[in-house]
Structure 1
Amino acid sequence: MDPHTPLDPGPSSQELLFSLFTPEGRENPFPALEALRSTEPVYHDRDLDTYFLTTYAHCQAVLSDSAFRTPDLEWCADHLPDWREHPAADFFYSSMLRANQPDHTRLRRLVGAGFTPRRVAALRGAVEELTDGLLDTFADATAHGGTADFQDLVGYPLPVAVVGELIGVPAADRPRFRGLGGDASRLLEPVRTEEDWQRADTAVTALRGYFEDLLLRRAAEPREDLATVLLAAQEDGDRLTRKELVDTLLLVFVAGFETTTAMLGQAVHALLLHPEQRAEVAADPSLAERAVDESLRWDTPVQMTERIAGAPAVIGGVEIPAGGNVTTVLAAANRDPEQFPDPHRFDLHRSGTRVLSFSAGPHYCLGAALARLEGSVALHRVFTRFPGLALAAPPVRRESFSLRVYEHLPLTAS
């Protein structure tokens, strides 16, 4: 090589970031994220005016620090001036997911009554029964060498059924919720098209109407479900408003099924790629929850989440101004070699620091225990019942940047 030939500097930080929006980047974002973490772990993209964090330490610190706020309705006034025209924006940015102090603490305290360890543990029997019923259908579809889409028969209907059981949605009403939940989840995309807004607005309006009606029914006929619990929840005389009640049920539904569907499909796929560990999960149910956590680390469903700097800050030597938009790239943090040795290796025996897939700090996911319960029950039962489970064709991911979810996972049982 001619010593005077300039070395190729490689792709720029922006090229690495924008490659994630390509079909190849959506399928395998990890090489680009690793390169970005190595070259510019706190990268300010001037076109997007956002600071992207790709190390575990930086992401964990920001998510745990209440000085970094979530974009809320106050933020909307400056950045989405037409938010009042969008029911989906009104729901999303005023919900517990986006609320800041003191509203967030108040909402979480009142809603937490529906997510106590006792209430989650009480759902185990229902989760097991629902899983077995769906696997019966899957067994019928794959009998005699047939092929079936795991996501259609198990990955989607199981979380919808479980969150329906939690909230109090009758079984007959649940099938229509898959499409509505998918449309509402378009709000998770970092860049939303006009079609995204239309779909989300329509879905949120329909779901608000449904949950308003459900609350009326539960007020007249209380049951052992989240709708009834939230109607009665109070602390020092404080109660959820009617709008807060409706939107909390909507949030629990959408967040509770879309991300869990992603987790189930990716966990099954990960274990199919690692047959020795799959056999361990089938033989030992105690390993199923560890497999859930490792799959969440290895292929994180929610790739990133954003915060707003409430005051000037310095991260990794980079000055962040007050009001600066900071995006924690969870998919990169969960494969940071400084935190997880040999991070690209799937290892259900891995131990150590908690993954960031359920966030951290004040906004740590309220439904994390329920998601782990669903995942551990499903994984053990799937691989115990179908020891010859195998891919029948390459899985197909949804065309989404923020949510990594298999739309189709074709499998054969023998």
Structure 2
Amino acid sequence: MSQVSVLREPLDIIGHLLSFEGKQDPYPLYEQMRVHGPVADVAGAHFFVTGYAECAWALRASDVLLSTDAGVQDLRLPGWREHASWVWLTRNMLFSNDPQHARLRRFFGNAFSAQRVQAMRGLVEHQAEAVLDHLAAAGADGAPVDLVAEFSYRYAIGIIGGLLGVPAADQPGMRSAIGDITLALEPIGDPAVLAPGDAAMSRLAEYFHALLARLRAEPGPDMTSAWIKAADESGDVTDEDLVANLMLLLVAATEAPQDLLSNTVRLALEHPHLHDRLRADPEFVAGFLEESYRFDPAVQVLNRVAATDFEFFGRAVTAGTPLTLLIAAANRDPARFPDPLVFDPARAENQPLTMSAGSHYCLGAALARMSVTAVLPELLRRFPGMTLAGPGTFRDQIVQRGHAELPVVLG
């Protein structure tokens, strides 16, 4: 009997999805949810969305708001302001609705324009060379190496840390704090689980306030120094805004790229017959990366709430109703992708929703793509005999899903 032949109710499926075992392999559960149609309606009180067209519409619609916005939180989650992790998250552009989102996105967005991202290539290539040297040293004795700790994390934080002016010596010690903070993005039953994230966010806020003071006194070539100057001249952005969004950029541009890179490398090692093309064909590398984003994305779930009453693909949604967008399921929607359960780097018109869409489309998407395409061919050239030393494990998270460990042997 197949895993989708027994019809489970949506809330039962979600319960299994939120278990540790469900988070290790959520894809069969997404297919069980899909049996209920592209929009699973729980008595009009909650909607779980697996359809690509439906998720894409919700990501762009003005009728649908971020559930993490401070104003929305006030209505839905009394007591949230007692938690530093949630308070700081609502102050950044990613987790706020307009007008705050638009104001902050205008201020910070220019730094990630296509032209400016191209100017970052030198830093990216330098970090790629440095992390490959580090990985070679870590695996020199032939023993298994954790690719997440020794490669993916170091590479991701090396890039964003360099751009933000975070000294290289400070970067390795930030891993646990970044991981603790991402727990605030998960569905929370007991607020006590936020304690590590609250403490980490407070420490990181203190760190970035000190960094602002240092770079205001002695500016450098980094983006933070430029933002300080622009904020001081315009008066449109406060130090609190700067700190909140610097923390966002550090956490988001470390954790998500780390997970995307680990997944992409794992998929490459699972398909050794593609290595020659990945070493030699940049266009194929770009297609491989896009397919890895579709097939096993780091961002699996996004939550929204209805701002007004509206009709959603034939269903009546009332203001205040939550919509859970199962992005990883939408990326495997057979109505959008032929043979969606097959990993196909040559897939045509491949547009996964992993980087979101609309006004909240990932600010660092171009930088993330450049980072992976710069290092993946070099990794396979440098270590042609690299193999997986085990299946790897995933963190106990579903919104931001990624490997806890991924052991490899360099060969």
Same fold (TM over 0.5): yes
Is 2:245 the partner of 1:245? Answer: no
Q: 1:50 to 1:94 in 2, by over 3 A?
A: farther
Q: Deviations over 1:340-382 (max 9, x none)?
A: 1111111111121421001000100101111111111121111
Residue 251 of structure 2 corresponds to 254
CA–CA separation in structure 2 for the residues paired with 1:192 and 1:288: 41
1:358 to 355, 361, 376: 355
Matches within 5 A, 1:324-335: 324-335=321-332
How many Å separate the matches in 2 of 1:193 and 1:205?
20
TM-score by length of 1: 0.93
Letter in 2 for 1:14: L
CA distance in 2, matches of 1:183, 1:264: 20
1:97 is the counterpart of 2:94: yes
Does residue 213 of the first structure (1) align with residue 210 of the second (2)? yes
Q: Does 1:182 align with 2:179?
A: yes
| Residue number in structure 1 paired with 2:8 | 11
Shift of 1:253: 0.5
Aligned to 1:65: 61
Q: Does 1:287 align with 2:284?
A: yes
* Alignment check: 8 A CA contact 2:60 2:359 kept: yes
Amino acid at match of 1:124: R
Change (3 A) 1:226 1:21: same
Partner of 1:121: 118
Shift of 1:195: 4.1
Alignment of 1:16-31 (within 5 A): 16-31=13-28
CA displacement at 1:277 relative to structure 2:
2.3
1:60 is displaced (CA, Å) by 0.1
Deviation at 1:142, TM superposition (A): 2.7
SS in 2 for 1:341: coil
1:167 alignment counterpart:
164
RMSD: 2.0
Secondary structure of the equivalent of 1:94?
A: coil
CA separation in 2, counterparts of 1:190 and 1:123? 35
Look up the SS of the partner of 1:347 in the other structure: coil
271-280 vs 363-372, greater mean Cα deviation: 271-280
Q: Which moved more, 1:358-367 or 1:306-315?
A: 306-315
User: What is the deviation of 1:398?
Assistant: 0.8
CA contact (8 A) 1:219 1:231 kept: yes
- Counterpart in 2 of 1:4? none
What secondary structure, in the 3-state scheme, does the structure 1 residue paired with 2:35 have?
A: helix
How far did residue 235 of structure 1 move?
12
Tell me the alpha carbon deviations over residues 100-124 of structure 1, each in whole angstroms, 9 at most, x when there is no partner. 1222111100111321223222221
User: How far did residue 55 of structure 1 move?
Assistant: 0.4
Deviation per CA, 1:304-324, whole angstroms, max 9, x where unpaired?
A: 111111111222322110111
Equivalent residue number for residue 408 of structure 1: 405
Amino-acid identity (%): 36
Q: 1:387 aligns with which of 380, 384, 387?
A: 384
Shift of 1:338: 1.2
Supply the distance in 1 between the matched residues of 2:257 and 2:43 (Cα, whole angstroms): 34
Task: Give the counterpart letter for 1:394 in structure 2.
Answer: P
Give the conservation status (yes or no) of the 8 Å contact 1:111–1:233.
Answer: no
SS at match of 1:156: helix
Partners of 1:38 and 1:285 in 2: CA distance = 38
TM alignment of 1:285-364, pairs within 5 A: 285-364=282-361
Give the unaligned 5+ runs of structure 1.
1-7
Identify the match of residue 56 of structure 1 among 39, 48, 52: 52
- Report the Cα offset of residue 167 of structure 1: 0.6
Contact 1:309–1:326 (CA under 8 A) maintained in structure 2: yes
CA distance in 1, matches of 2:103, 2:384: 47
Match of 2:79 in 1: 82
Aligned partner of 1:69: which letter? Answer: L
Cα distance in structure 2, aligned partners of 1:165 and 1:141: 22
AA matched with 1:386: F
Pick closer, same or farther for the CA change 1:9–1:31 going to 2, 3 Å: closer
**Does the aligned pair in 2 maintain the 1:110–1:235 contact within 8 Å?**
no
CA shift at 1:133, angstroms? Answer: 1.7
- CA shift, 1:139, in A, is 1.8
Q: Deviations over 1:203-244 (max 9, x none)?
A: 111111111111111111122212112113369945211110
User: Amino acid of the residue matched to residue 89 of structure 1?
Assistant: W
Which letter does structure 1 place at the counterpart of 2:306?
A: A
Distance 1:362 1:152, change over 3 A: same
Alignment: residue pair count: 406
* Range that drifts further, 239-248 or 112-121: 112-121
Shift of 1:148: 1.0
Assess, with a 3 A threshold, how the Cα gap between structure 1 residues 312 and 278 changes in structure 2: closer, same or farther. Answer: farther
Deviations 1:161-211 (A, max 9, x none): 111011110111111111111111111102254443111111111111111
What residue number does 2:267 align with? 270
CA distances 1:139-161 after superposition (whole Å, capped 9, x unpaired): 23333533211111101111111
Distance change (3 Å), C-alpha of 1:195 and 1:390: farther
CA contact (8 A) 1:283 1:384 kept: no
Secondary structure at the counterpart of residue 172 of structure 2: coil
